[in-house]
Amino acid sequence: MEKKIEAGVFIPTVRSGWVHSTNAPHTPGSFKHALEVTRLAEYLGFDFVLSPQNWRGAQGPHRFWGDTVDSIAAAGALTQATDRINVWCTAHVSVHKPATIAKIVASLSEIGDGRIGLNVVTGGNYMQLYPLGFWDDMGHDERYDMAEDWVSVIRKYWSEEVVTHDGPYFKADGGILSPRPAKRPTLVNAGASPRGLKFAVDSCDIAFLMGGGDAKFVEQAKLAKQLAKDRNKPDFKVFGAMTIIPGETDEAAQELLEHLEVGADLVGLADLASGYQKNTKGFDKLSASSLAPLGGADYKAVMPGAIVGSYENLASKIAKQVNEADLDGILIIVPDYISHLNQLGTRTLPRLADFGIECSVGRTTAVPNSVVVE
């Protein structure tokens, strides 16, 4: 086999996940559902799950992200309900002090026997953060400067007995965190901007890029690898986040995509975009466009770059992106996290081997009772 990748699932601890349509399968944003999806992912052979952190839902008919379970709290419980799969949670740098997250994630590492990772996010949507008192009044790039300092404090707490730190944003004077994690938790980031990508390479282990198979995606993946090479970080990894719209046939998958777009929650998408427009340091167009294309009627229920096709044909499409962008891993997003995930895990991802890609998903063919949804 030429290439080995890790495979993960972006689990929907947020209502509606990442398909913002009134025609989408019901995804409640409950812990119970996230647990079912995580157990299914583990059973199918996935290497990790990642849960997002979100502080305010959109105000449209679908109420997407309106109900959420806290990503960090869920991680502890998910490790206790599983045996093998890695569980990565998310924290915003402007919401928590670094020492708080260092302690919580060190505890999660003990609880989960080292199967823990942390997705570091800077936020940037005014309406997601301001109402709860989390808006820091920083510009986009400055928030990444803060994130760098934030992560360096956390790394110190995880590796040094007594921490002294005099950074531009955070201080520590003889800080002690005990016990320190036996194995350093994985640090990941999904910045899409040049500053975000630099932060990922400088401060984290993995960069998540929103897959799309277009030239820009491949270029960005190569840039991340080049930055890592320049910094002598040969173990740095680049993963592609892929929204997959599957069907029994290519036509059925295309029909599902069209059905989802007919029900696009335009009010909710506009509400989400307006959160970026209200930023006190100027409209954060880049972050906004990574979530939804801007411009009224152009709002889409499904993120740009989704891979659409039959369970059979999807394997070659996923493999093409992995090979062209030289990805080290993939993160799956689907409309239906039980039936679609089960089919992809048993029928599509095992076929990556036909394209020279080794991936641990697909050792089974049926869903066990413990993961069947009611």
Ligand X SMILES: Cc1cc2nc3c(=O)[nH]c(=O)nc-3n(C[C@H](O)[C@H](O)[C@H](O)COP(=O)(O)O)c2cc1C
Cα dihedral value 50, 364, 16, 213, nearest 10: 70
**Subset of 197-236 contacting ligand X (CB under 6 A):** 208, 210
Q: Choose one: 61-69, 78-86, 95-103, 192-200; the region binding ligand X (CB under 6 A).
A: 192-200
Min dist. Cβ of residue 35 to ligand X (A): 18
Kindly state whether residue 98 participates in binding ligand X, applying the rule CB under 6 A. Answer: no
**Subset of 116-155 contacting ligand X (CB under 6 A):** 119, 121-124
The closest of 50, 36, 39, 37 to 7, measured between CA atoms, is: 50
Kindly state whether residue 331 participates in binding ligand X, applying the rule CB under 6 A. Answer: yes
Report the alpha-carbon distance of residue 275 to residue 184 in Å, rounded: 35
Residue of the chain from 192, 204, 318, 357 that contacts ligand X (CB under 6 A) = 192
Nearer to ligand X, 205 or 310 (CB): 205
Residue 241's identity, in one-letter code, is: A
Residue 142 class from Cβ within 10 Å (0-12 exposed, 13-18 middle, 19+ buried)?
middle
Report the alpha-carbon distance of residue 369 to residue 283 in Å, rounded: 48
Q: Choose one: 98-106, 115-123, 322-330, 364-372; the region binding ligand X (CB under 6 A).
A: 115-123
Min dist. Cβ of residue 286 to ligand X (A): 5
Helix (H) and strand (E) counts in the chain: 12, 13
Residue 215: other Cβ atoms inside 10 A: 9
Kindly state whether residue 279 participates in binding ligand X, applying the rule CB under 6 A. Answer: no
Kindly state whether residue 287 participates in binding ligand X, applying the rule CB under 6 A. Answer: yes
Report the alpha-carbon distance of residue 317 to residue 365 in Å, rounded: 22
Strands 163-166 and 171-175: antiparallel
Nearer to ligand X, 71 or 346 (CB): 71
Looking at beta carbons, which residue is closest to ligand X? Answer: 196
Residue of the chain from 290, 313, 342, 346 that contacts ligand X (CB under 6 A) = 290
Interface residues with ligand X (CB under 6 A) are 10, 52-54, 90, 119, 121-124, 190-193, 196, 208, 210, 241, 286-287, 290, 331
